[in-house]
Amino acid sequence: MAESTGASNDPLAAWPTGRLLATAARATENRWHAALDGLGLTHAGLVALHLLDDGALAQADLARAARVEAQTMSRTLERLERAGHVRREAHPTDRRRVLVARTPDGDAALGRAQVVERELFPSAADTAAFRGALLEIIRGDTPGE
What angle is formed at CA 135 by the lines to CA 133 and CA 137, rounded to 5 degrees?
70
Residues 6+ apart with CB under 8 A from 136: 122, 142
Q: Which helix (H) or strand (E) holds 128?
A: helix 127-139
Given this model, what pLDDT does residue 145 score? 47
The pTM of the full predicted model, rounded to 2 decimals, is 0.73
CATH topology of domain 17-139: Arc Repressor Mutant, subunit A (1.10.10)
Residue ranges covered by each domain of the chain:
17-139
pLDDT band at 136 (very low <50, low <70, confident <90, very high): confident
Contact 99, 56 (CB under 8 A): yes
Given this model, what pLDDT does residue 118 score? 84
pLDDT band at 129 (very low <50, low <70, confident <90, very high): confident
The mean pLDDT of 58-72, rounded to a whole number, is 94
CA 64 → CA 22, 33, 47, distances in Å? 28, 23, 12
The more confident residue out of 86 and 13 is: 86
